[in-house]
Amino acid sequence: MAGVMSDMKSDALFVHLMKLLNSSSSVDIRKRIIRSMNGPYSEVALAFLGKRLRDESADVCTLIFN
Instruction: For the chain, give every domain's residue range.
Output: 2-65
What's the distance, Cα to Cα, between the start and end of the chain in Å?
Answer: 17
Number of neighbouring beta carbons within 10 Å of residue 47? 12
The pLDDT of residue 31: 95
Q: What is the pTM of this model?
A: 0.78
- Taking only the tens place, the pLDDT of each residue in 2-12 is 444 455 566 88
pLDDT tens sequence across 3-45:
444 555 668 888 899 999 999 999 999 999 999 988 888 888 8
- Residue 30 and residue 57: Cα distance in Å, rounded? 10
**Alpha carbons 54 and 14: distance in angstroms, whole number:** 21
